[in-house]
Structure 1
Amino acid sequence: MTFEQLVIFIATAEREHLTKAAQALHLTPSAVSASIKALETFYAVKLFDRVGRGIQLTREGKVLLKEARETLARVKETQAVLAELGNLKTGTLDVQASQTIANYWLPSRLLGFSADYPGIHVNLTIGNTATVAAAVINGDAELGFIEGALDEPLLSTTTITSDKLVVVCKAGTEQPKDELASLKWIMREQGSGTRSVLEQALKELSVDPATLDVRFVLPSNEALLTAVLQGGCVTALSRMIVAPFIENGQLRVLDVDLPPRRFTLLRHKERHRTAVAREFEAYCHVHA
């Protein structure tokens, strides 16, 4: 089994689709199919069942996927150790961040870090607080950035900077503060830092989040923003996101005093942290 065959198998198994795996790996579907077939033939084991027009992992395939992922992780660790020997001249850093940080806070830091270390490649994946924490725990990301606090014994948490949530509505609509529980709300999904911080803040204002009239739950800040600009509903978003729309008169901030929230850096307490990760963490503190 070659390293390339291992990578092709994992990509195919995760997507359960030859063409999608080929696209992700920049290969042809025939090359992916041939690699899988070669594995099955050489080891006399069936890895996928052809079900209709798709494919599914066999029991043997599921066993191999677990082993293959662990092998690939060990290879990445070896590559990371070698990269450290080059004094940050080369290397890769896997980072995951929740949406507000990834879209509005991290980009300038990534650009600055890349300018200082042009040989370092940073992979940024966007999720929510729950998925980012899971990625750091599982080793899919060395560093995670979330909005708000997190109580997870496996993770070390460090405050990088702070942010301010504001409750906004379309300009020209009346949304009195003393009727928060009766307003039509648009919320982020459960697991997002924005939602958890908002719900905690509402409790401190003696408003039970369970009593809110939540009309829609949307998976991104951009979706919330677009929906609120249509009028009729309110939502809570970072001031960084809504500032341009407040300045041009499209949105209005309600008189709701929400406490600041933390931007928090996550890293695993027990996993080895590469020199690249240590350097980027220090860079974020300096340029917070």
Structure 2
Amino acid sequence: MGKASKDKRDIYYRKAKEQGWRARSAFKLLQIDEEFNIFQGVKHVVDLCAAPGSWSQVLSRKLYMPSKLSPDSGDGVVPLIVAIDLQPMAPIDGVIQVQGDITNAQTAEVVIKHFDGCKADLVVCDGAPDVTGLHDMDEFVQSQLILAALTIVTHVLRVGGKFIAKIFRGKDTSLLYCQLKLFFPIVTFAKPKSSRNSSIEAFAVCENYSPPEGFNEKDLYRLLEKVGSPSGVSDSDCSSGWLEGANKVYIPFLACGDLSGYDSDRSYPLPCSAEGPSYQSLDPVQPPIAPPYKTALELKKNLP
């Protein structure tokens, strides 16, 4: 009854299981692609904080599988997808898994080796910390995760590439926007239809990677710290200063996905047949293979 109840009140949770996605978050990346066409011309992709793998599944189905099913189409180059996470995840066709830390430059070197010295056309990151419910705290921690992801982005993303990352909207969102604008001329914050209205999450869609002239990856945090300080870095869209008052930055924000489609905050009736209710809740597509709560469950089993 519990599973059926959740299927009824979360349409994307139900559809994810029906369509074989590991998590409902797959629809968020699909809807971002519908709006921004982020997969066009992409041959090398990095998925940061990939577990349990729903975004890697999207990358596999949209990029890898079509090239395998029609090897004579296109330029004959099979897309390469590298997924990085501290946690292991079950295999996905066409996805190379790297168990490592996204803040470590050595992880970037491993990725580039898999690409035979080439760099990525697209980097995506759906990672997020365990939320506390304190929005200011959650927003700050999430912004720090994105800046940590920039550590690997600046090493592996080619000039002109794209970066997609989950953000939490809040009072300091303009600061994060300006920090991203240092590296991407086009930055849009987007809210997919499958993302609940009650959630403060959105996604930063960063296009045309263009690092500052003479930029050294080792100076990343030194450069980011200047944004929003009294001696901040001038930018055509982000004035130097504290980013408040006259210097307040207004961020492009876009709703994406079919706005007439399923509402993620609405409850939907379960399918029925002429004989009456016929719906059976499906099991998750792929349960976690090494969940952080595994140890707690084992200890609980051993209790007298």
TM-score normalised to the size of structure 1?
0.23
- The structure that is strand-richer by fraction is 1
TM-score normalised to the size of structure 2?
0.23
- In our comparison, the structure showing a higher alpha carbon Rg is 1
- The structure that is helix-richer by fraction is 1
